[in-house]
Each structure stands twice: as structure tokens, then as C-alpha cells.
């Protein structure tokens, strides 16, 4: 049986050095700032530098990974005689996974002996990063490519994505809320609590007043939905506000005895749409 490589894209928000440690290949989404012709890969600018530029008024516009980039990355693996399990960014938010599928279809014709499978996680940021971690651990345990693919499909709609933002203007730019709602919400310090639904879209669930209440609401959702409150795997991602991410981790520990396994930055490509101050909580639950 041929060996296989797990492949992903940078919207998983797992740092490059961690992906390399896991043996995971990747291709990067990109972005540009208004007035700046340079195109940046998701990992190119240090995250604090990206968020500082956004705080100063920089507006970033993002682009999916294209099929040519995936074709190049996949073919290196196929030439080495290995198969591919691509685990990717939600099609509800990006064309990236569709581009991977296009590349895979073309390469199957050139390499008929190869097994290339693409899984749409219907997830984003460290939410699909957590699924990626699960796949890496499953491969270490001896799972075949087909078994690992099914494992991710079986778990993707149990991977809970709950998050809140600090400034509503970024949701307004992305068309998630109206300009009037953003203005009034910021004036009154309303914080939306949102999640990702099964089709992989961001859904506004309810709002609370103030940052502390929004973090507490995320912890509440963990208590309501988590399959294993004390020992389940937990990832948190943040938009340059690690102190708040740690506060959320402390809440989870105090309430449920839980331990956060990984805290990472929300990378620039997703951070362009959520802004500085976003906090996102990811865990396996009864449902999303």
C-alpha cells in the first residue's frame, strides 16, 4: 500500500513550523492592501505587524489558492510515489477547496495509479486546523488514506466553531451586518457571538454587551455542547489579543477542568474579515 501525504491550505491558521513538524504540505492564500501593489502570502508578514497595519487603517483584500498552485504542490508528492489527502478551507467561505478539486481531477488523468482525495472541512481558522491535527494523529496511528478521509467526514460537523469580534466594522465590510448595525453596535459595545453552520457559513447567533460577556458566552457554549468537557481537545485562535485568549482558557479550566491544547493567531487572510480582537473557540461537540 502506498504512503500518503496530508496536505492543506493556510486558512487553517496553524503556524508553518507546526505544519512542517506534522509533515503536512500546504499552499497559501494571499492578500493585498489598498494602495499597495504587493501580494502577500498568508504567512509572509508577522501577524502582529499585519494587525498593527489594519489598526492604522489598512484594508486588506484576500484571494483563494488557485488550481495551478495546488497542481504544483500535489505533483511533487505524486512524483515521489505517494498519495494525497487534502483537507481544506470551507467552500462556504472560499473557492480554495474547489481549486484543489480541479487540480486533483487533472492530475488523476496524468497519474492514474494515484489516490488523491479532497475533503471540504466546512471549517475555518484553527477549527479546521483542529481537524487537520486529528488527521495527523490518525495517520500516526496507522489509518489508511480512505480511513482518514472518512474519519474527517464523520467528525467535521461535530467540530464546533464559536467566535466573537471586537469591532463590527469588519463584519460590515464583508456584508455580514449592515452599516447601521455596525455603528449602533460599536456605540453600545454590543459583541456578536457567531458560529459556523454545517454548510460552512458564518452565522450571527446572538449578541451580548461588552468583551467580558462575549468571552463568557463562548465558555457557555463549550459547556453546552462539548462532548468531553474535561479532556476534549481545544484550540483557540485570536486576532492579536492573546491575553483575552488566555482569559477564555482560564474560564474553561475554572468551569469545566478543561485545558486548552493550542492557542494560535487568526492569520491575515481570515483576520482581514474579522479584524483585530477576534477570539474563536474550537472543540468537538454533540453538533455544531
pLDDT tens-place string over residues 118-150: 999 999 999 999 999 999 999 999 999 999 999
**pLDDT over 90 (residue 171):** no
pLDDT at 206: 81
Same fold, 4-156 and 158-284: no
Domain ranges of the chain: 4-156, 158-284
The total of other beta-carbon atoms located within 10 Å of residue 264's CB is: 21
pLDDT at 50: 97
Please state which CATH class domain 158-284 belongs to: alpha beta
**pLDDT over 70 (residue 187):** no
pLDDT at 174: 59
The model's pTM is 0.93
β strands within the chain, DSSP E: 4-9, 25-27, 30-33, 40-41, 60-63, 83-88, 116-120, 159-164, 190-196, 202-209, 234-238, 262-265, 279-284
Half-sphere exposure of 192 toward its Cβ, with a 13 Å CA cutoff?
Answer: 22
Architecture of domain 4-156: 3-Layer(aba) Sandwich (3.40)
Amino acid at each position: 500500500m502506498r504512503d500518503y501525504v496530508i496536505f492543506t491550505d493556510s486558512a487553517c491558521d496553524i503556524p508553518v513550523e507546526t505544519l512542517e513538524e506534522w509533515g503536512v504540505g500546504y499552499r497559501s492564500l494571499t492578500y493585498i492592501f489598498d494602495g499597495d501593489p504587493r501580494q502577500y502570502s498568508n504567512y509572509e508578514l508577522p501577524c502582529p505587524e499585519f494587525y498593527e497595519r489594519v489598526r492604522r487603517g489598512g484594508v486588506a483584500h484576500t484571494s483563494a489558492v488557485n488550481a495551478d498552485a495546488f497542481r504544483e504542490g500535489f505533483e511533487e508528492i505524486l512524483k515521489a510515489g505517494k498519495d494525497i489527502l487534502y483537507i481544506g478551507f470551507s467552500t462556504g467561505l472560499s473557492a480554495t477547496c474547489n481549486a484543489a478539486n480541479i487540480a486533483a481531477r487533472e492530475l488523476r488523468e496524468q497519474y492514474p495509479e494515484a489516490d488523491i482525495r479532497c475533503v471540504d472541512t466546512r471549517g475555518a481558522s484553527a477549527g479546521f486546523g483542529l481537524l487537520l491535527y486529528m488527521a495527523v494523529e490518525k495517520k500516526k496511528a496507522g489509518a489508511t488514506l480512505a480511513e482518514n478521509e472518512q474519519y474527517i467526514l464523520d467528525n467535521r460537523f461535530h467540530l464546533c466553531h464559536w467566535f466573537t469580534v471586537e469591532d463590527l466594522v469588519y463584519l460590515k465590510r464583508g456584508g455580514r451586518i449592515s452599516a447601521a448595525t455596525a455603528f449602533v453596535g460599536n456605540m453600545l459595545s454590543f459583541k456578536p457571538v457567531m458560529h459556523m453552520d454545517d454548510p460552512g457559513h458564518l452565522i450571527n447567533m446572538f449578541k451580548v454587551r461588552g468583551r467580558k460577556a462575549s468571552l463568557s458566552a463562548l465558555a457557555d457554549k463549550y459547556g453546552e455542547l462539548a462532548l468531553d468537557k474535561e479532556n476534549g481537545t481545544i484550540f483557540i485562535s485570536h486576532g492579536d489579543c492573546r491575553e483575552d485568549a488566555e482569559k477564555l482558557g482560564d474560564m474553561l479550566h475554572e468551569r469545566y477542568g478543561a485545558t486548552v491544547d493550542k492557542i494560535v493567531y487568526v492569520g491575515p487572510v481570515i483576520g482581514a474579515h474579522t479584524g483585530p480582537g477576534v477570539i474563536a473557540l474550537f472543540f468537538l461537540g454533540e453538533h455544531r
